[in-house]
Chain A
Amino acid sequence: MKFLVVDDFSTMRRIIKNLLHDLGYSNVTEADDGNTALPLLQQGSFDFLITDWNMPGMPGLELLKAVRADTRLKQMPVLMLTAESKREQIVEAAQAGVNGYVIKPFTAVTLKEKIDKILEARPK
């Protein structure tokens, strides 16, 4: 299972990477915004995308929309992991096709639950 973790803060990427490692997912690649993430997604064979929303270059919502608009990537499970907590934003992310939404600060348990839920719901 290959993960791409997108966040503009290296500390947050490290935290997520560490938690994924604890959950048994050791194949994790990092990107610092949508602009660097999208080419990686298009080139690589990623199975799961975890992205922040508020990033200086391409924000997470735009990345999500780009993934859903790409015929090869549109089935990619996407978990939004963000401090953005307006109701309208969560609704917007859901409408754009997000598979899960975790607000920061978050716990290891919440991250595990959401990843498990998304993977269980994934078409076999």
Chain B
Amino acid sequence: MSSIVFLREQYGTHVSAMAAALDAGDVELFGSTLDELVRLREKTLFSDLRRLTVDLQGALERFRLDSRLVDLAEKEVPDARHRLDHVLKLTDEAAHKTMDLVDQSCPLAERTSKGAAELNVLWKQFRSREIAVQDFRGMLEKMDLFLDAAQADTDAVRRNLSEVLMTQGYQDISGQIIRGVMKLVGELEVALGELVKLSSIDTSRKKVDEEPARGFGPVVPGINHGVTVGDQQDVDSLLSGLGL
């Protein structure tokens, strides 16, 4: 129904009656018809207001079901917790491994230092020609043992230190996982901002598309990453299949 037709139906009779009352000079009839017209107009306004309220309620319902929010709350936030748990595990393992290696290395360094200190005393006596023949023989025996032990011990310490350095690689993996969670927190912030606004509900908002060129980050156990390779051997056989 066009609006002019609606207006004619709704108010036509009253307007005609008011025009006739004016022509006839009937002030009383004009006044009472005008009062009725105003009441009618108010009634229409109230019904419009009711409809707006219903619309608003519907919009609020739709907002609650906004797919992005549901996705965030039901899947991505628990996933983020899982990712951060994995970071905890990685850092814990790396810290323990580093401490184990330090624990293994310290006694070796101490043994070398102690052996050098003992020999130093004898060596100084020898250099100042104050050493007895018996002590000199003892020094040579100690020297033989010390040189062998020091070589083995310092080699072991060097290997442990290399291992400690390699263990720090956890920082790279965990840093990448944390960055992913930070991105999610940013998205949550935006979604909650929308909840605060409430007035305009943007249902067109979709999940931000992944950008494969940027990378997906490290594989986290228990989270579906699609088809991934298990280890370096898988990578090698995949690449050799591609002629590389």
Contacts and interface: CB of A to CB of B under 8 A. Distances in A.
The interface size bin for chain B is 20 to 34
Given A11-B169, A85-B228, 13 more contacts: A7-B172, A9-B175, A12-B169, A12-B171, A22-B162, A53-B215, A54-B176, A59-B214, A83-B217, A100-B244, A101-B235, A102-B232, A104-B169
Interface of B: 162, 165-166, 168-169, 171-173, 175-176, 179, 212-219, 225-229, 231-232, 235, 238-239, 242, 244
B70 to A, nearest CB: 26
A90 B168 contact: no
A85 B213 contact: no
Contact of B215 (A59, A87, A100, A108): A59
Contact of A104 (B173, B213, B244): B173
Nearest to A93: B239
A73 B218 CA distance: 29
B93 to A, nearest CB: 11
Interface residues of A, number: 39
A104 B165 contact: no
A119 B198 CA distance: 61
Contact of B238 (A54, A91, A102): A91
